[in-house]
Amino acid sequence: MSQLPKQPAEVSVPTSADVARLAGVSRATVSYVLNNNATVRISEPTRRRVREAALQLGYVPHAAARSLRAGHSRMVLLPSGHIPAGPLHQYFFEELQSGLRRLDYTVVQYGSVGLTADEAATAWAELRPVAVVVPPGIALTPHGTGILTRSGAKAVITLGPGPVAGAHGLVMDQRQVGASAVEHLLARGRRHIGVVMPQEPCRAPFSEPRLVGARGVAEPAGARVCPLPLRYEEESAHRLAARWPELGLDAVFAYNDEYAMLLMRALQDAGVAVPADTAVIGADDSLIGRLLRPRLSTVRMELAMAQPLAETIDRMVQHPGGPPVHQDLLRTSAVHRESS
């Protein structure tokens, strides 16, 4: 059977065996040198030959082979969903990533939109991460937690809004945001409080608990809470503003500063005076709120971490036996400006 030569253009990726061959040593020696293994002494000339051979071939170790052999990886998986809400999250995740990298973990984000909770958990588990940090907006079930744990994850951490059985909960309880907003409005003498509910589905994991928090404060005080569906579009805002007189509200918590800007513009266009007729409060303490006229009252959010989360995760990975940690990272406070 005459066989044509296999594709000659097919470049073969150099392995540690190629490095060993070029340096004239064994694969073991290559591994010792490139990993700076301290338990074994390799002569300086050999070290240099190995390093030069690796450089010359453009050798890059194969992470999968390494972790297969080691029996574990140092990968921390960060499922990612839709737009993470606000600069707070952006900052939080950058801190987390750089902290973990300093501790020599490999941080990988895995886009998980369009998967059910258990499909996603299985997909994550296939990568055999040593830890999984699930942000708000990504579903994690107790069953999914089980899948991950059984596949070797030493720490499964949910960032909220609520706890999940089997997982550590470093939650960001969004109910606080609604509670702080409504407390502020009550303190300013308002009693008929609208709560904007964004209709974009990716907002639901935040907006629902915020509404719950708002109710939890308003009802004991005898105030009324009215959910107000709103899409992030001018037309939706104008329709809501047109209904304003019949709603009989004297205040509104607008989900965040951007929705607040949208609604406030529509209210002003409809002749509703802010804050005289209706007080408005947003959330996020973003710059745009300070640029509005009247300046926007808002709920400021901060993350309290006794110690950087990266180190907490590292500890969980090293001592997997411990009891589930449950802690609320979020601290909220209302900031009074001119719109309330």
Partner DNA sequence: TTGAAAGCGCTACCAA
Partner DNA sequence: TTGGTAGCGCTTTCAA
Footprint on this chain of DNA (rule: CB under 7 A):
13, 15-17, 24-32, 34-35, 37, 39-43, 45-46, 59, 61-62, 65-66, 68-71
Number of other CB atoms surrounding residue 189 within 10 Å: 9
User: Three-state SS string across 219-245, please?
Assistant: HHHCCEEEEEEECCCHHHHHHHHHCHH
Give me the 227-266 binding string for a copy of itself, x by CB under 8 A, dash otherwise: -----xxx-----------------------x--xx--x-
Give the helix/strand (H/E) hosting 51.
helix 44-57
Could you tell me if residue 114 is left (phi over 0), alpha (psi between -120 and 50 degrees) or otherwise beta? left
Answer with the entry of a copy of itself, DNA, none that 70 interacts with (C-beta below 5 to 8 A by kind): DNA
Stretch that binds a copy of itself, among 6-14, 183-191, 215-223, 276-284 (CB under 8 A): 6-14
Q: In the complex, what is the shortest distance from the CB of residue 34 to a copy of itself, in angstroms, rounded to a whole number?
A: 12
Number of other CB atoms surrounding residue 256 within 10 Å: 26
Answer with the entry of DNA, a copy of itself, none that 231 interacts with (C-beta below 5 to 8 A by kind): none
Using the minimum distance from each CB to DNA, give the nearer residue, 42 or 108: 42
Q: In the complex, what is the shortest distance from the CB of residue 82 to DNA, in angstroms, rounded to a whole number?
A: 31
Asked whether position 120 contacts a copy of itself by CB under 8 A, the answer is no
Please state whether beta strands 330-335 and 298-303 pair in parallel, antiparallel, or not at all (unpaired): antiparallel
Asked whether position 319 contacts a copy of itself by CB under 8 A, the answer is no
Answer with the entry of a copy of itself, DNA, none that 265 interacts with (C-beta below 5 to 8 A by kind): a copy of itself
- Please report, as a single letter, which amino acid is at residue 118: D
**Cα separation, 147 vs 243, whole angstroms:** 49
Cα-Cα-Cα-Cα dihedral sign, residues 226, 229, 230, 236: negative
Asked whether position 94 contacts a copy of itself by CB under 8 A, the answer is yes
Phi–psi pair at 164, nearest 5 degrees: -130, 130
**Cα separation, 89 vs 81, whole angstroms:** 12
Asked whether position 310 contacts a copy of itself by CB under 8 A, the answer is no
Beta bridge partners of 136: none
Among 291, 318, 322, 338, binds a copy of itself (CB under 8 A): 291
Asked whether position 152 contacts a copy of itself by CB under 8 A, the answer is yes
**Cα separation, 79 vs 93, whole angstroms:** 11
**Cα separation, 194 vs 118, whole angstroms:** 36
Q: Given the rule CB under 8 A, which residues bind a copy of itself?
A: 9, 11, 13-14, 58, 60-65, 67-68, 73, 80, 82-83, 90, 94, 97-98, 101, 106-111, 113-114, 122-123, 125-128, 146-147, 149-152, 232-234, 258, 261-262, 265, 287-288, 290-291, 321
